[in-house]
Amino acid sequence: MKDPETSMPSNFIRNIIEEDLKTNRHQGRVATRFPPEPNGYLHIGHAKSICLNFGLAADYNGTCNLRFDDTNPSKEDTEYVESIETDVRWLGFDWEDRLYYASDYFEKFHEYAVDLIKASKAYVCSLSPDQIREYRGTLTEPGKNSPFRNRSVEENLALFERMRAGEIDEGACVLRAKIDMASANLNLRDPVIFRIKHEAHHRTGSRWCIYPMYDYAHCISDALEGITHSICTLEFEDHRPLYDWCLDQLNVPCHPQQIEFARLNLSYTIMSKRKLLKLVQSGLVNGWDDPRMPTISGMRRRGYTPVSIRNFCERIGVAKRDSVVDLALLEYCVREDLNKIAPRVMAVLNPLRVVIENYPEDRVEMLDAVNNPEDPSMGIRQVPFSRVLFIEQDDFMEDPPKKYFRLAPGQEVRLRYAYYITCVNVIKNEAGDIVELRCVYDPESRGGTTADGRKVRGTLHWVSARHSISAEVRLYDRLFNRENPDAGGADFTEHLNPRSLEVLTECRMEPSLGAVEPGSRYQFERLGYFCAEPVEFSKDRPVFNRTVTLKDSWARIAQKG
RNA sequence: UGGGGCGUCGUCAAGCGGUAAGACACAGGAUUUUGGUUCCUGCAUCCGGAGGUUCGAAUCCUCCCGCCCCAGCCA
């Protein structure tokens, strides 16, 4: 996928751009834009578009604008524009001074509409919404001309002026482009380009009561900004003739080329803004930034890094065929980054008390532990060891299967960076639950090795009971238990994974974890990558979110039996 | 049944007439004080199907099949 000379991934959009550059099609410029509608939070699918648009600009020495496509006041809000700016910046992209709003062009849109009317290319149609639909025809039958299609320029101008002045009710009339009611492309059957909405806009307030439609506003916005390559998703392919038609009628600065690519689909995930909104509004998740959400803010809160998301977006490629990317690739990308940068630390999620019988009651040793074996520059730290410890409940089995090389009666294991221990007794309560393990340690094994060089297969993480802090850990898993939550007719909410969040409140951790920065990321050895809860973490109540587990080949072996 | 797209490994995805890249996943093996990481090895005689053109086709032509999108005064 990489071109050996440039080391850039190859895709059809790059091919188009390179061809355009070669033929000097846009005066050798590359100008893209990311044009979100501020009606929801950005998700991983938007990240694909952001990486594409900003990435192309960066690679071809061009520019990428951030433009809010805010032409529908009923759905949009400043809360969303703020979150979008935050998320794009967090992903690592910079629009410099090129922050635009379609609403800044409202006056222009109006002027161009007047031009269209004067050229008899647009008319005010007084059909009702229902009638417009009837007149539009169907997929297989042509539409009929509106009875208002041949109003005079003067009448249209006057009516359009009255629309703008607020003298006409919503729905009573619209401005339509005069194209071809018999076109096989429904988008060309005299599309509405301005509608009346007596509604305040989050930026223009009550200055306007007519608002432009997407097809009309988007192409003009692109042209006004000097965009060369207007990249959008596949469903707009049918709209391209309209995009081109508008620009061809108008005296605009340039004519950008629209290029469509397939939007991202991810297994076990939904990407529709409407459905994500439903999850939020119904309380099925805790807001747009719930760590289970595929939103940028949710992933940030979950512990994902910008680097990992950018790498993911590069690896999935760009093409025109509908596809569903395996969630495993996303997880691979976070692990890859976190493996390099996350300090290792020991935390016990489900503590099991271990008493080292031959270790002195009052003794405490500070043992050296490596912060990151992948990066020696991250140094070492000291962890306290004492007679009473906690290990993971999963790391002990009274009657272990073959190939289980963790702790079991009579079986020797290594406590990471500490000593070899052997279990000599198992203490249970009346219910038969294991409540404590009695072990003995080998004083000669300090640090985790012995002079005799004997092999110990299992290495466990642990924490000194007396020195550990207690903390809450939120184990996040995929939100849906179906690869395609939308398949099979049933409502997608029926496929929610009931175990997408498990909260553990009795976890015990290395003391240093009590005072870390919210949002900071760690590898809990042998368990996974976790981050200090970005908004709720406090010294009084440490909370960690699991970003992703470590690969667990033991789980695979154990499952096979 | 109209129009617009798309069909290459389980999942993404290069390839643009010269004889199927890469990544993830998966399966083996080596190293390992994380059953993590790393490292080897394997994994499409075949490119939706059938014909045709050609010395030669995933790439060109023809027909067929399948999937996606379009009938908002949403974007």
Structural domain includes residue A317 = yes
Contact A188, A179 (CB under 8 A): yes
Neighbours of A553 (CB within 10 A): 8
Interatomic separation, CA of residue A52 and C1' of nucleotide B54, rounded (Å): 40
Structural domain includes residue A534 = yes
Q: Which of A164, A176, A273, A344 is catalytic?
A: A273
Interatomic CA distance for residues A129 and A146, integer angstroms: 12
Q: Which nucleotide's C1' sits nearest to the alpha carbon of A195?
A: B73
Report the pLDDT averaged over residues A338-346.
Answer: 98
pLDDT for the residue numbered A488:
77
Which bases on strand B have an atom closer than 7 Å to a protein beta carbon? 1-8, 10-16, 21-27, 33-38, 67-75
- Nearest residue (Cα to C1') for B22? A1
Tell me the pLDDT of chain A averaged across its residues.
96
Residues A41 and A182 in one domain: yes
Report the pLDDT averaged over residues A234-256.
Answer: 98
Q: Say which CATH number the domain at A438 has.
A: 2.40.240.10
Active site annotation includes A37: yes
Q: What angle do CA A18, A21, A22 make, to 5 degrees?
A: 85
Give the per-residue SS3 of A408-433: CECCEEEECCCCEEEEEEEEECCCCC
Structural domain includes residue A466 = no
Q: Which nucleotide's C1' sits nearest to the alpha carbon of A68?
A: B75
Active site annotation includes A263: yes
The pLDDT tens digits for A6-29 are: 457 899 999 999 999 999 999 999
The tokens for A259 are 């290029």
**Percent of chain A with pLDDT strictly greater than 90:** 96
Q: Which of A263, A381, A438, A482 is catalytic?
A: A263
Report the pLDDT averaged over residues A357-381.
Answer: 97
Q: Which nucleotide's C1' sits nearest to the alpha carbon of A212?
A: B73
Q: Which nucleotide's C1' sits nearest to the alpha carbon of A139?
A: B2
- Nearest residue (Cα to C1') for B68? A322
Interatomic separation, CA of residue A11 and C1' of nucleotide B44, rounded (Å): 21
Q: How many Å separate Cα A307 from the centre of its chain?
A: 12
The pLDDT tens digits for A40-84 are: 999 999 999 999 999 999 999 999 999 999 999 999 999 999 999
Q: Which nucleotide's C1' sits nearest to the alpha carbon of A458?
A: B35
Q: Which of A37, A260, A392, A533 is catalytic?
A: A37
Report the pLDDT averaged over residues A155-170.
Answer: 98
* Whole-number Cα distances in Å, A177 to A33, A122, A216, A223, A446: 26, 4, 9, 18, 82
Q: Which of A263, A290, A318 is the last residue of a domain?
A: A263
Residues A280 and A205 in one domain: no
Q: Who wins on pLDDT, A378 or A402?
A: A378
pLDDT for the residue numbered A487:
84
Residues A22 and A107 in one domain: yes
Give the per-residue SS3 of A496-557: ECCCCEEEEEEEEECHHHHHCCCCCEEEECCCEEEEECCCCCCCCCCEEEEEEECCCHHHHH
Q: How far apart are the first and last CA of chain A?
A: 39
Interatomic CA distance for residues A87 and A309, integer angstroms: 12
Report the pLDDT averaged over residues A365-394.
Answer: 97
Q: Cα torsion at A331, A332, A337, A339 (round to 10°)?
A: 100
pLDDT for the residue numbered A5:
43
- Nearest residue (Cα to C1') for B73? A195
Residues belonging to chain A: 561
Q: Which residue range is the domain that position A89 belongs to? A: 12-263
Q: Per-residue pLDDT for A416 more than 50?
A: yes
The pLDDT tens digits for A482-531 are: 999 998 778 999 999 999 999 999 999 999 999 999 999 999 999 999 99
Interatomic separation, CA of residue A262 and C1' of nucleotide B68, rounded (Å): 10
Interatomic separation, CA of residue A458 and C1' of nucleotide B25, rounded (Å): 27
Question: Could you identify the residue written with the tokens 């898993």?
Answer: A477
Structural domain includes residue A420 = yes
**Percent of chain A with pLDDT strictly greater than 70:** 99
Report the pLDDT averaged over residues A421-437.
Answer: 97
Q: Per-residue pLDDT for A444 more than 70?
A: yes
Report the pLDDT averaged over residues A357-365.
Answer: 97
Task: Using the Cα atoms of residue A479, residue A482, residue A486 and residue A490 in order, give the sign of their dihedral.
Answer: negative
Residues A434 and A552 in one domain: no
Residues A27 and A125 in one domain: yes
Structural domain includes residue A6 = no
Residues A116 and A67 in one domain: yes
Q: Say which CATH number the domain at A251 has.
A: 3.40.50.620
Q: Rounded to 5 degrees, what are φ and ψ at A50?
A: -65, -50
Given pLDDT bands bounded at 50, 70 and 90, which one contains residue A452?
very high
Interatomic separation, CA of residue A12 and C1' of nucleotide B21, rounded (Å): 16
Residues A377 and A363 in one domain: yes
Given pLDDT bands bounded at 50, 70 and 90, which one contains residue A561?
low
Q: What three-state secondary structure class fits A160?
A: helix
Structural domain includes residue A7 = no
- Total domains in the fold of chain A: 3
Given pLDDT bands bounded at 50, 70 and 90, which one contains residue A1?
very low
Q: Which nucleotide's C1' sits nearest to the alpha carbon of A102?
A: B75
List strands edge to edge, sheet with A63-68: A31-34, A63-68, A99-101
Q: Which nucleotide's C1' sits nearest to the alpha carbon of A418?
A: B33
Q: Which of A461, A484, A514 is the last residue of a domain?
A: A461
Interatomic separation, CA of residue A205 and C1' of nucleotide B35, rounded (Å): 61
Interatomic separation, CA of residue A151 and C1' of nucleotide B68, rounded (Å): 40
Interatomic separation, CA of residue A484 and C1' of nucleotide B21, rounded (Å): 30
Structural domain includes residue A411 = yes
pLDDT for the residue numbered A9:
81
Q: Which nucleotide's C1' sits nearest to the alpha carbon of A9?
A: B14
Residues A364 and A336 in one domain: no
- Nearest residue (Cα to C1') for B4? A238
Residues A399 and A332 in one domain: no
Residues A58 and A75 in one domain: yes
Structural domain includes residue A268 = no
Residues A331 and A354 in one domain: no
Q: Which of A263, A292, A324 is the last residue of a domain?
A: A263
Q: Per-residue pLDDT for A539 more than 50?
A: yes
Query: Among A7-11, A100-104, A158-162, A496-500, where is mean pLDDT lowest?
Result: A7-11
Interatomic separation, CA of residue A156 and C1' of nucleotide B55, rounded (Å): 68
The pLDDT tens digits for A377-390 are: 999 999 999 999 99
Residues A229 and A371 in one domain: no
Neighbours of A548 (CB within 10 A): 21
Active site annotation includes A273: yes
The pLDDT tens digits for A291-323 are: 999 999 999 999 999 999 999 999 999 999 999
Interatomic CA distance for residues A547 and A299, integer angstroms: 8
Interatomic separation, CA of residue A288 and C1' of nucleotide B25, rounded (Å): 30
Interatomic CA distance for residues A245 and A222, integer angstroms: 14
Provide the ipTM.
0.97
pLDDT for the residue numbered A490:
82
